[in-house]
Amino acid sequence: MASYVKGRDMSGHSKPVVAAVDDDGRVRASIQSVLESAGYEAVVFASAEAFLESGVLRQATCLLADVRLPGMDGLELQRRIRRARPQLPIIFITAHDDEHIRQQALQDGAVDFLVKPFDAAQLLDSIEGVANQD
C-alpha cells in the first residue's frame, strides 16, 4: 500500500487535504487546479480503489467523488468510508443528475451533490462549508 505524507504551506502549517476521485483526467486536473489555487492540498485519483489504497483517507479533510466510476462506484466508496471514517464529509460530483442516486447519496450522509459542469465558486463554497466545521 502506498503511503501519503501531508504537505505544508510556506509558513510551515499543514494544508487541509481534499481528495478527489474522478475517472476523467480533465476533471481531475481542473479540480486540482481550483483546490490548489484556494490553498488546499489536492490529491486526485482515477478510481475509488486507488484512493482507498493510498492512505489519504486518514489525512483527508473532505472527499469529492464522482458517482460513476470504473470498478467500485461512488456510492460503494461512500459506504466503505462510512465504516472507516464516518465523519469524513463527502461531496458527490456527477454528469448524470439522477434524483434517485442524489437522494441515496444524501440519505447516506453526503454533504452535497454537484452536477457537472459546476463552477469553481460552487465547489469551493461546498468544501469551505464543511472544512470550517472543525
CB-count exposure of residue 73 (10 Å: 0-12, 13-18, 19+): middle
Closest CA to 91 of 107, 111, 72: 111
pTM: 0.88
> Tell me, what amino acid is at 31?
I
CB 67 within 8 A of CB 96: yes
pLDDT tens track for 57-108: 999 999 999 999 999 999 999 999 999 999 999 999 999 889 999 999 999 9
Cβ contacts of residue 108 below 8 Å, gap of 6+?
75, 78, 79, 82
pLDDT tens track for 8-18: 444 555 789 99
Question: What domains are defined for the chain?
Answer: 17-121 (3.40.50.2300)
